[in-house]
Amino acid sequence: MAAEKIGIRPCVILVENNKVLSIHCKYRDGEYYLFPGGGVEPGETLVECAKREFEEETGLRIEIIKLVYVNDWIKDKATNERVVNIFFLGKMSGGKIIHGEKDGGKVKEIEWVDLDRLPEIDFRPAYLAKRLKGDFEKGFPGVPYFN
């Protein structure tokens, strides 16, 4: 087996008025919704990365409240290439949403999506679309780990 290639992707969940801020994105494998986030730069902490990526993709500044989810996504089983997603709950602290395409067309638009609508759209990871509303209402009681 080839050596592991592990990507780390911190991202932020921002919920206001029963809606979650999402990025509608387009990649080679299709169009879908994600939480704002991205890759860690050299010398950057996970929290610093989450805040930077969130602002770059949305135009908003946030404070990190707490870690709420961690998951491991295997991108390619043959090469053991994977991504560890780190999900932080955030609180808006300033800025203004910058609409329109970003990141070379990967980010199509910034959208507030109703928590009840998440299971109906192609939101990734899908398990979060199914459980986010209930966990938010309970105050995110733990840090579950999902494969």
Does pLDDT of 4 surpass 80? no
What's the pLDDT tens digit per position in 13-55? 999 999 999 999 988 888 999 999 999 999 999 999 999 999 9
Residue 98 structural domain: 5-141
Say if 119 falls within a structural domain: yes
In a domain, 146, yes or no: no
Residue 59 banded pLDDT, cuts 50, 70, 90:
very high
Task: Compute the average pLDDT of residues 60-86.
Answer: 89
Say what the pTM is.
0.89
Contact (Cβ atoms closer than 8 angstroms) between residue 108 and residue 72: no
pLDDT band, very low/low/confident/very high, at 143 (cuts 50, 70, 90): low
Give yes or no for a cis peptide into 125 (omega within 30° of 0): yes
Residue 21 CB partners (closer than 8 Å, separation 6+): 14, 15, 35, 36, 58, 60, 110, 111, 112
Q: Which CATH number goes with the domain that contains 76?
A: 3.90.79.10
Q: How many domains is the chain built from?
A: 1
21 in a domain, yes or no?
Answer: yes
DSSP 115-139: GGGGGGS-BSSHHHHHHHHHHHHTT
Mean pLDDT (whole number) for 115-121: 92
Specify if 110 maps to a domain.
yes
